[in-house]
Amino acid sequence: MQPQIILLKEGTDQSQGKGQLISNINACAAVVDSIRTTLGPRGMDKLIVNPRGQATISNDGATIMKQLDIVHPAAKTLVDIAKSQDAEVGDGTTTVVLLCGELLNQTKKFIEDGVHPHAIVRAYRKATNIALAKINEMAVKIDKSNPTELRNILEKCAATSLNSKLIHQQKDFFSKMIVDAVTSLDPLLPLDMIGIKKVTGGSLEESLLVKGVAFKKTFSYAGFEMQPKKYNNPKIAMLNIELELKAERDNAEIRVDNVAEYQKIVDTEWNILYEKLDLIVKSGAIIVLSKLPIGDVATQYFADRDIFCAGRVTEDDLKRTMKGCGGAIMTTAHDLNDSVLGTCELFEERQIGGERYNLFQGCTQAKTVTLILRGGSDQFLEETERSLHDAIMIVRRALKHDAVVAGGGAVELEISKCLREESRSVASKEQLFLAAYAKGLEIIPRQLCDNAGFDSTNILNKLRARHAEGGKWFGVDVTNEDIADNFAACVWEPAVVKINALTAASEAACLILSVDETIKSPRAGQDYSQGMQQPGMAGRGRGRPM
């Protein structure tokens, strides 16, 4: 009798071998099933309620993946690739999860038949390289020298991204707005220079684009209403100073033995405040923004001198104002001169819905824009913001990487055809794996058909025939339940979306395939499966929690 060797802590869950790999693939398939139906223009939305009871309605793959609290270690890689796609490209998050799940699904029968996972991984890597070469060869370059054509292409890319979102009815309106926003930024296209503000009420068409900075009117004291609300070419002071009487520290103690001395202390306090206000007025600033509160005395003081002030401005807004209007954020009132004051062409306060907004237009320095969104409910506005974020990212990518391809499953089918041809020229087992990869790519057009309620087998047969004849841009036409040349139909997306999606999906699939053992350590304080308690935890007592 050999004694049993125990290496791992009691209660450790250890699974390995073929069954383990199949279970990982099944876990990924379960995740994919949860977001499968959100793909494409006819995709459904998901309503996710978090533990605090807040509801999120979303169609964006990355948002849904983040909200789902996935604990399965292998399935978490799908969440990671959705996040990376969101950060890198902004759109195509559902696509990348679907592709990865389907590539894994295709390998299941091989694994069950006893094929070594690394043979599959090798073939998948080869297939990915062929696919990427094919995309680069197919992609159509954007001609940047012709501004009208460039604008046209960018609007088409934004519209394609918005096609599958809640706001697809207004895609023409928003795609123009987004292209305006992105093209008015400086060449580096920084994302944080596009501010998005949400105001409930009104219709989506009332959303507006402010070429400059806009933020909500801050908390204000009496006297605020007496200040003018519109200026041309004002000087703007941005401060990080409290312009109100400071309450003394609780434990500060000053002993005075007569009233005159007490009066002196009070006067000094006021003088400190008035000195600051005086310096600000002398600097010539007509608009004073501060991160810290501006008190009632200061508000009245500025109102008497026709100066506009706003205290408690959030840091993001103040930074965007600084970058947009020039100047600097000052922590003292002593060095205010023209070099640290910003300026813009027009400042006004405008009523938008139930809120009042401060608008700085015609910013001289950096290019910054603000989108003010209107809409019925908070959830709807949040989803609109997420949709616009995706579209903004797409337009940025299209500007930086100047190549576009047709959407609607056209690219996937063309690569699939190319891989099938390639697989026939390979004599080894690899032939099967390349064909499996090619079949996996067909999930995108197939799912587009399923989500729209079409007969996917029928449409895919038509598409395969069309691609075999050389119609490389043919994809699913969701509006007419047929196939169409999606390049002519202006369903375009940046090639980088597809490149990133394929790379991320095949990398994740290879990663999951190369795992052959999962070891889960028991959580501290967790009951064992038999229901016994952990050693040393003898119930309550001695101040131990349950």
Residues recognised as catalytic: 60, 93-94, 390
Does residue 472 sit in helix, strand or coil? Answer: coil
Residue 292, phi then psi, degrees to nearest 5: -100, 165
Distance, CA of 416 to chain centre? 30
In the structure encoding, which two tokens stand for residue 10, read together?
Answer: 């009691």
Task: At 173, list the tokens.
Answer: 């309106």
How far is Cα 486 from Cα 414, in angstroms, rounded to an integer?
Answer: 13
Residue 267 exposed, middle or buried by CB count within 10 Å (0-12, 13-18, 19+): exposed
29-to-24, 68, 70 alpha-carbon distances in Å: 9, 15, 13
* Long-range CB pairs of 84-89, under 8 A, 24+ apart, other chains included: 84/504, 85/61, 85/500, 85/501, 85/504, 86/60, 86/61, 86/62, 88/500, 89/393, 89/394, 89/397, 89/494, 89/496, 89/497, 89/500, 89/501
CA 296/CA 289 separation, integer angstroms: 15
Query: What are the strands, taking DSSP E only, across 77-183?
Result: 140-141
Number of neighbours of residue 536 by Cβ within 10 angstroms: 6
Residues 6+ apart with CB under 8 A from 382: 56, 198
CA torsion through residues 469, 471, 477, 480, sign: negative
Report the C-alpha dihedral over residues 207, 213, 214, 217, rounded to 10 degrees.
Answer: 180
The residue among 448, 423, 417, 452 whose CA lies nearest residue 435 is 423
Amino acid at 494: P
Q: How far is CA 238 from the centre of its chain?
A: 30
**E strand segments, 35-139:** 46-49, 55-58
Residue type, 515: V
Q: DSSP secondary structure string, 42-70?
A: TPPPEEEE-TTS-EEEE--HHHHHHHS--
Buried b (16+ CB within 10 A) or exposed e, 467-493: beeebbbbbbbbeeeebbbbbebebbb
